[in-house]
């Protein structure tokens, strides 16, 4: 049986990260609240160090590692945000890091990782990226994988401590799912503090590895076809699946087109510059709202904002061609 993260571990991560990450703000999502006729609050992890929640887990991991970083070669697979967070941590700790990324990763994320001094390898797709990482592990590299690392998930869980402290009235929280680490850490914290709270994961149809794993009752290897590289994990780890089984009400699956529309809605209605993974949350909330009681208070973790004008223009053009 897979062991679940302990709440005390999330609290310990919060102490470890104190003063090292931003306590991101929580604001009211008034336009979305008008649409679904329920209060909505947004946790702005797009304002976090590195532009996403990933800094929490990565810094918790590096702060927990022992030994001389310069004597170890690290490798990680990333669709964008995880790579940026690792590259920033590597610069702080003087670590030797190689980030393997799929061609779908935003060009600005690739550039940022390189600018921070880490090595970038672009593979043909996400499956090839993970395969390349396995080869490098055999060559002596130490892999950092947020898809199966409890320390990283515990660091991610610290955002939930802040969110529920700011909005203790929350009844439903929506969280984007890539590898599932944010869902695992945040759900652990939220359920420990407020057992009746409902947790909803969000994926896109072309990256629904958690959705399919829950339906099958075990991890399922999928073909990643979604344009959203940060959600594109081919197979969910058993540890992350166990947390979704224990804590999630459901995984809401939306289309890439809906995610693009949601991203634009964040900009036009909430005045927030966010990436596609965050955009996927809006259609998920709208689709789920009819299932929620009239007194529900909804929380949305705006997971990241690492998108350039060039990237946004590309996705708008893509949506117009569909």
- Residue 13, classed as helix, strand or coil, is helix
- Do 112 and 173 sit in the same domain of this protein? no
- In sequence order, the 6+-apart residues with CB closer than 8 A to the CB of 182 are 53, 57, 153, 156, 159, 175, 176, 301, 303
Mean pLDDT of the chain: 94
86 and 234, same domain (yes or no): no
- For 61-65, 66-70, 271-275, which range has the lowest pLDDT when averaged over its residues? 66-70
Give a yes or no: residue 235 inside a domain: yes
Tell whether 127 is covered by a domain.
Answer: yes
pLDDT band at 126 (very low <50, low <70, confident <90, very high): confident
pTM of the entire predicted model: 0.94
Residue 320 has a pLDDT of 81
Domain that holds residue 137: 55-143
Is residue 80, in this structure, part of any structural domain at all?
A: yes
Q: pLDDT at position 1, please?
A: 67
Q: Does 18 share its domain with 45? A: yes
Residues 309 and 167 in one domain: yes
pLDDT > 70: percent of the chain: 99
Task: State phi, psi for 80 to the nearest 5 degrees.
Answer: 155, -75
What CATH number did the domain enclosing 39 receive? 3.40.50.1100
Question: How does residue 262 score in pLDDT terms, banded at 50, 70 and 90?
Answer: very high
> Is residue 229 over pLDDT 70?
yes
Q: What is the pLDDT of residues 146-198, one digit of tens each?
A: 989 999 999 999 999 999 999 999 999 999 999 999 999 999 999 999 999 99
Examine the fold and report which residue of 85, 109, 143 is the final residue of a domain before the chain moves on. 143
Could you tell me if 169 and 207 lie in one domain? Answer: yes
Lowest mean pLDDT among 16-20, 36-40, 146-150: 146-150
User: pLDDT confidence of 316, banded at 50, 70, 90?
Assistant: confident
Residue 254 DSSP one-character state: E
**Is residue 72 assigned to a domain?**
yes
User: What integer is the mean pLDDT of 249-261?
Assistant: 97
- pLDDT of 315: 81
224 against 43, higher pLDDT: 43
| Inter-residue contact 145 to 77 (CB < 8 Å) | yes
Last residue of a domain, one of 143, 165, 181: 143
> pLDDT value at position 161?
98
Domain boundary among 126, 143, 160: 143
Residue 135 lies in a domain: yes
């Amino acid at each position: 049986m897979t062991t679940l993260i302990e709440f005390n571990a999330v609290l310990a991560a919060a102490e470890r990260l104190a003063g090292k990450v931003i306590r991101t703000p929580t604001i009211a999502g008034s336009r979305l609240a008008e649409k679904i006729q329920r209060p909505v609050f947004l946790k702005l992890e797009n304002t976090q160090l590195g532009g996403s929640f990933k800094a929490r887990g990565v810094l918790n991991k590096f702060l927990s590692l022992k030994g001389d970083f310069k004597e170890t070669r690290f490798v990680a697979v990333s669709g964008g945000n995880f790579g940026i967070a690792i590259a920033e941590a590597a610069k702080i700790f003087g670590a030797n890091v190689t980030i393997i990324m799929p061609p779908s990763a935003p060009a600005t994320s690739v550039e940022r990782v390189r600018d921070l001094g880490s090595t970038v390898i672009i593979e043909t797709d996400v499956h090839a990226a993970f395969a390349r990482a396995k080869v490098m592990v055999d060559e002596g590299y130490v892999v950092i994988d947020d898809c199966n690392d409890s320390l990283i998930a515990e660091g991610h869980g610290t955002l939930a401590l802040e969110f529920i402290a700011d909005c203790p009235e929350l009844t439903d929280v929506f969280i984007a799912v890539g590898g599932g680490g944010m869902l695992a850490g945040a759900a652990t914290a939220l359920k420990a503090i407020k057992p009746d709270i409902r947790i909803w994961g969000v994926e896109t149809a072309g990256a629904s590895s958690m959705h399919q794993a829950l339906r099958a009752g075990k991890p399922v290897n999928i073909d990643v076809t979604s344009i959203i590289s940060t959600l594109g994990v081919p197979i969910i780890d058993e540890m992350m699946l166990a947390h979704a089984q224990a804590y999630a009400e459901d995984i809401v699956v939306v289309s890439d087109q809906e995610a693009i529309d949601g991203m634009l809605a964040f900009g036009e209605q909430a005045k927030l510059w966010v990436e596609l993974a965050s955009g996927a949350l809006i259609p998920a909330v709208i689709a789920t709202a009819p299932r929620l009681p009239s007194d529900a208070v909804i929380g949305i973790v705006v997971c990241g904002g690492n998108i350039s004008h060039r990237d946004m223009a590309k996705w708008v053009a893509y949506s117009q061609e569909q």
